[in-house]
């Protein structure tokens, strides 16, 4: 008589279980390579789905690899569901390169929420930066009309917030207004991760705890570091997920911790490249993620949020 099959079971996670759908590089830290390890350090179980697998990030002269299509994503979800492995507390998404894949992600959101109605969806709507789109233009309307309404937290940069709200952000007041427009569309938490106002760099955060009340809003002044880093947006969104789940009613506190971690890591990266004799302005720098794990796990609170009245 054959032995019955041994069924494995994913134990419930009292810290949180995150499904992270992002890009993957063999070398370097962008996408899932930049997000998974920090979340694990903060105590989360993280299951990555790699939307692409490339040899390195696309800023290098060449790259090779494979791209996952929307049906392949749904196949993976179907496999998890068939084994009762599809319970997640959080969904995290970053760079998505095609409308078809983004629409499959929306199906994943519906599926996960059918299993856990309290799923938190943290979306980094990666579309471009500094006035330049680096995804097909038709993704913008899908994000605006379909994704924003189902997101719990949104972490755009200034350019992405402008695309989503159709509002030109030229002042702190504009930044705060953009957050309110996004709240009205869906997410209760919005963090515009970098805004350039008159040469000053700011983060503006906004938490609408009740649809009938005005959101609580704050800013954090960011230093300008004379270098370009890759993977920082992916890392920042992961840190915001991690800390905002630990401080669900204090988005300003979560942002302080996330910014403090990130800035310590960037300074360590810059110091390492400078010590090795590299010109930090001549190329993009790969972040020193592993070397900065103490800054991620126990950040020194060096950046403070200033609440708007």
Q: At what angle do helices 232-246 and 32-41 cross, to 10 degrees?
A: 30
Residue 2 pLDDT level (bands cut at 50, 70, 90): low
Residues 72-100 have a mean pLDDT of 95
* Domain presence at residue 7: no
* Domain presence at residue 107: yes
How far apart CA 182 and CA 218 sit, in angstroms, is 16
SS percent in the chain: helix, strand, coil, step 5: 40, 20, 40
Range of the domain at 68: 17-307
Question: How much is the pLDDT for 271?
Answer: 93
3-class SS of residue 105: helix
Single pTM value for the model: 0.94
Residues 238-247 have a mean pLDDT of 97
* Domain presence at residue 101: yes
* Domain presence at residue 22: yes
Place of tokens 């905002």: 244
* Domain presence at residue 2: no
> Quick check: 160 and 190 in contact, CB under 8 A?
no
Residue 10 pLDDT level (bands cut at 50, 70, 90): low
Report the alpha-carbon angle 10-13-17, nearest 5: 85
* Domain presence at residue 158: yes
Question: How much is the pLDDT for 152?
Answer: 98
pLDDT at 279 over 90: no
Residue 235 pLDDT level (bands cut at 50, 70, 90): very high
For residue 124, indicate whether it is catalytic.
no
* Domain presence at residue 3: no
Question: How much is the pLDDT for 17?
Answer: 96
Residues 256-260 have a mean pLDDT of 98
Question: How much is the pLDDT for 84?
Answer: 94
3-class SS of residue 299: coil
pLDDT at 1 over 80: no
pLDDT at 7 over 70: no
Question: How much is the pLDDT for 199?
Answer: 87
Instruction: Quick: pLDDT tens for 22-77.
Output: 999 999 999 999 999 999 999 999 999 999 999 998 888 999 999 999 999 999 99
Residues 111-130 have a mean pLDDT of 96
Q: What is the CATH number of the domain that holds 147?
A: 3.40.1190.20
Question: How much is the pLDDT for 15?
Answer: 79
Question: How much is the pLDDT for 226?
Answer: 85
pLDDT at 6 over 60: no
How many structural domains are present in the chain? 1
Instruction: Quick: pLDDT tens for 184-231.
Output: 999 999 999 999 998 899 999 999 999 889 999 999 999 998 888 999
Q: Which of 236, 218, 208, 225 is nearest to 285 (CA)?
A: 225
Is pLDDT larger for residue 12 or for residue 116?
116
* Domain presence at residue 11: no
pLDDT at 302 over 90: yes
> Quick check: 104 and 142 in contact, CB under 8 A?
no
What secondary structure does DSSP assign to 216-273, as a single string?
Answer: EEEEEEE---SSEEESHHHHHHHHHHHHHHHSTT-HHHHHHHHHHHHHHHHHHHHHHH
Which residue out of 45, 124, 174, 234 is catalytically annotated? 234
């Amino acid at each position: 008589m054959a032995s019955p099959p041994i069924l494995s079971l994913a134990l419930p996670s009292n810290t949180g279980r995150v499904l992270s759908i992002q890009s993957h590089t063999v070398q370097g830290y962008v996408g899932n390579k930049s997000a998974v390890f920090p979340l694990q350090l903060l105590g989360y179980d993280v299951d990555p789905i790699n939307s692409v697998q490339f040899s390195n990030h696309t800023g290098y002269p060449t790259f090779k690899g494979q791209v996952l299509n929307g049906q392949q994503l749904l196949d993976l979800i179907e496999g998890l569901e068939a084994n009762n492995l599809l319970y997640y507390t959080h969904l995290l998404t970053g760079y998505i390169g095609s409308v078809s894949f983004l629409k499959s992600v929306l199906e994943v959101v519906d599926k996960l929420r059918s299993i856990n109605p309290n799923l938190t969806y943290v979306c980094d709507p990666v579309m471009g930066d500094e006035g330049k789109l680096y995804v097909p233009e038709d993704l913008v309307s899908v994000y605006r009309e379909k994704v924003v309404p189902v997101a719990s937290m949104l972490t755009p940069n200034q350019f992405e917030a402008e695309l989503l709200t159709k509002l030109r952000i030229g002042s702190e007041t504009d930044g705060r207004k953009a957050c309110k427009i996004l709240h009205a569309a869906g997410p209760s938490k919005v963090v515009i991760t970098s805004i350039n106002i008159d040469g000053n760099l700011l983060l503006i955060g906004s938490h609408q705890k009740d649809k009938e009340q005005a959101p609580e809003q704050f800013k954090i002044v960011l230093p300008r570091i004379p270098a370009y880093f890759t993977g920082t947006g992916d890392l920042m969104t992961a840190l915001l997920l991690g800390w905002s789940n630990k401080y669900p009613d204090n988005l300003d506190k979560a942002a302080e911790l996330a910014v403090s971690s990130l800035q310590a890591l960037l300074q360590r990266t810059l110091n390492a490249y400078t010590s090795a004799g590299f010109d930090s302005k001549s190329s993009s720098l790969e972040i020193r993620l592993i070397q900065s794990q103490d800054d991620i796990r126990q950040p020194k609170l060096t950046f403070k949020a200033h609440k708007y009245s």
